[in-house]
A and B are shown apart, each in its own frame.
Chain A
Amino acid sequence: MAKDLNKIPDQEPEALENSKRIFSQLPLPACLIGDNGIILGVNDEFGRLSGYSANEMEGRSFENIFFERNEAVSAMEGAVKKRIELRLIAKNGLSVPVNLFLSGKKEGQKGNIAVLYDMTEAKKSRELLEERVERRTKDLEESRTALMNILEDVEEAKRAAEEEKDRTMALISNFTDGLLFFDKRNRLSLINPKAQSIFCTKAGEVTGKHMASLGEIEKMRPLKEMLGDDIRDVSREEMALNQNLIVEISTISVLKQGEQTGTLVIVHDVTREKMVEKLKTEFVSLSAHQLRTPLSAIKWTLKMFLEGDLGKITEEQKEYLGKTYQSNERMIGLINDLLNVTRIEEGRYLYKLEAADPAVLVQDVVDSLKEQIKNRNIKFTFLKPKKKISEIKADEEKIKLVIYNLLANALAYTPQGRSISIFIEEEGGEVKIGVKDEGIGIPKDQQGRIFTKFFRGANAMKVDTGGSGLGLYISKNIVEAHGGSIWFESEEGKGTTFYFKIPKGGRQGA
């Protein structure tokens, strides 16, 4: 140390003493560097920081105590005071982060005082901060990625929803039926092109309007009148918008999790079907009428021959003519059945509903079949009700036709010597009429089709080839048009009982 101090010849001994004291007691690590870059001395704080004692330090090149040697050299050669970050090589070989301050020096002078700030703590906290920032950044990065994923999913879902919507709209727009969607407040929210054309309207004129106010638009009025303001449930109800446009209306409640979100109204154009149906019915009706005229002429002529009005005939001739007369009668029956069917299909079947005594109707039919019952050698009973049966509200001729059909079937399909009975009962608000026979019965596998138009049981065909297969179809239509029902119980080979019920009517009617 004395050698070094000698190199500062111009300094006063007292000032030098003071300098040394200040230097050694400086609360920061510091070292004294000579002109040649050699460490001349270090203070106690420096020893604490580096782990080296003053003796171990003195005489070493200053730049050698740092990992960044070059930077230390250039710092010492620099003209101005500056602070640089370096890593001090501690005695234990570890690096200690420091900030190096070199006091300013005069031109050409290399001697210097270096003050080191221990940056360990600062660095630690900076690292900690950096780590936290990094972690946070990573978190944010992850969140961002997650968010991006969510956004992508949402985007995807949106795209899928839009595709779905496009598809649905394409379907709705090109649907061959008219479609109208009413929201849950019964306001029209959608009308497809077909419905617009059916109702001769534009979406802009009607969309958003409540069903009640659609009635104010003339073309839409029939729909409002059929469905009402609250849009009642209908299934394939027919509506004539004009003579050349007949549609069938159906409604569907649109539910979402059990809650009604609106009503879909489907308008199906049936004009063509109706036209074809009408033409067919008219054709059958016309031909049946046309057939009746010659059949009447044949009937009358034969009858007059048979009754001798047209001169004497032999017994043999009479027999043939009698059979011809019966064939002709059957033909008239078939034609009548066909006419009845066309009238059912034209929807103008029932004529006048009047109070009628069911016992009288049954008796009339029984009387008209008296001859046949007698000829068939059948035990026939009409179980007359003990007390007076209530009147029914009926088209008498039609109900008589039902009773006739059931009784004629029983007669046709019941073998000689067996029995047939007919009975009337009152059941609640209805009158039940039944025809019970001991005939061939209806095969189980054919029972479901027995009321179908033109259907005939396989065993029935063998017994009687002449039936039209229309009697039960007509009967069912008649009974149902009266608000009644028809059914049967049957066992093949044992017999059949047909029943039908008609609601009471007339004065005692419910």
Chain B
Amino acid sequence: MVKRILIIEDEQIMSDLLQRKLSEEGYEVLLAGDGEEGLVKMRSGKPDLILLDIVMPRLGGIEVLEEMQKEPDLKKIPVIVISNSGQPVELDKAQRLGAKDWLVKTEFDPAEVIEKVKKNLGE
């Protein structure tokens, strides 16, 4: 069965690149440009995994994680945080709110993101 991945990222080129890479790898990709849209899409689309940016307009990544904690259905979806800053404080907070893994954008490239996705989907 094709795994569905939701990318919540406001920087369009980043989500485009990720979508392309993930599609090449055979995943089905959903896109959301901010946290609010992300919550709507995860409720309707039931993704197997979420790639979540932290700094976003309207609703940020940390708030998205907080919302997900309140809903059992959403809480069990694995989340990989894609962080711009890589600040330990931020990453720690994300992990406490259930994020399974994280990566810092400037330190990773799309191929490595795929590795993390596969690992977290148990593939």
**Docked-complex contact B110 and A309, CB < 8 angstroms:** yes
B84/A300 in contact, CB under 8 A: no
Whether B88 sits at the interface, judged by CB under 8 Å, is yes
A293 interface contact, C-beta 8 A: yes
Which A residues between 119 and 163 are near B, CB-CB below 8 angstroms?
none
List the A side residues contacting B111 at CB < 8 Å: 303, 307
Q: Counting CB contacts under 8 A, is B106 at the interface?
A: yes
Q: Are B11 and A293 in contact (CB under 8 A)?
A: yes
Residue pair B109, A352 in contact (C-beta under 8 Å):
no
Q: Which of B20, B84, B85, B106 contacts A304 (CB 8 A)?
A: B20
Q: How far is the CB of B89 from chain A (nearest CB, A)?
A: 8
The answer to the question of A301 belonging to the interface, with a C-beta cut-off of 8 Å to chain B, is yes
B14 to chain A, nearest CB (A): 6
Task: Return B65 CB to nearest CB of chain A, in Å.
Answer: 20
A307 CB → nearest B CB, Å: 6
On chain A, the number of residues with a Cβ less than 8 Å from chain B's Cβ atoms is 21
Interface residues of B in 57-81 (CB under 8 A from A): none
B1 on the interface (CB 8 Å rule)? no
CA distance A339 to B86 in the complex (A): 11
Q: In the complex, what distance in Å separates the CA atom of A293 from the CA atom of B13? A: 10
One of A289, A299, A300, A351 near B88 (C-beta < 8 A) = A351
Residue among B20, B24, B105 with the highest chain A CB neighbour number at 10 A:
B105
* Minimum CB–CB distance for B62 against chain A, Å: 16
A300-B17 contact given A292-B84, A295-B106, CB 8 Å threshold:
yes
Tell me whether A296 and B84 are in contact (CB under 8 A). yes
Say yes or no for A95: interface residue by CB 8 A criterion: no
Q: In the complex, are the beta carbons of B11 and A309 less than 8 A apart?
A: no
The chain A residue sitting closest to B17, CB to CB, is A300
Bound: A310/B17 CA distance, A: 9
Kindly identify, within residues 266 to 297 of chain A, every residue whose CB is under 8 Å from any CB belonging to chain B.
289, 292-293, 295-297
Determine if A289 and B84 form an interchain contact, defined as CB atoms under 8 angstroms apart: yes
| CB atoms of A336 and B109 under 8 A apart | no
Say yes or no for B116: interface residue by CB 8 A criterion: no
A214 shortest CB reach to chain B, Å: 37
- B13 to chain A: which residues have CB within 8 Å? 297, 300-301
**Given that A293-B11, A309-B20, A309-B24 are contacting pairs, would A300 and B109 also be in contact in the complex, using a CB cutoff of 8 Å?**
yes
* Contact of A75 with B by CB under 8 A: no
Q: How far is the CA of A293 from the CA of B109 in the complex (A)?
A: 13
The listed residue (B17, B24, B85, B106) touching A332 by CB distance below 8 A is B106
> Are B110 and A292 touching (Cβ within 8 A)?
no
For residues 243 through 258 of chain A, which have their beta carbon under 8 Å from a beta carbon of chain B? none
Chain B residues with CB below 8 A from A304, complex form:
17, 20-21, 109-110
CB distance from A283 to the nearest CB of B (A): 16
What 7 new A-B contacts, CB under 8 Å, besides A299-B109, A300-B109, A309-B21?
A293-B84, A293-B105, A296-B11, A296-B105, A303-B111, A304-B21, A335-B106
28 contacts between A and B (CB under 8 A): A292-B84, A292-B85, A292-B106, A293-B84, A293-B105, A296-B11, A296-B105, A296-B106, A297-B11, A297-B13, A297-B14, A297-B17, A299-B105, A299-B106, A299-B109, A300-B17, A300-B109, A301-B13, A301-B17, A303-B110, A304-B17, A304-B21, A304-B109, A309-B20, A310-B20, A339-B85, A351-B88, A351-B89
Q: Interface on A for B, CB 8 Å cutoff?
A: 289, 292-293, 295-297, 299-301, 303-304, 307, 309-310, 332, 335-336, 339, 351-352, 397
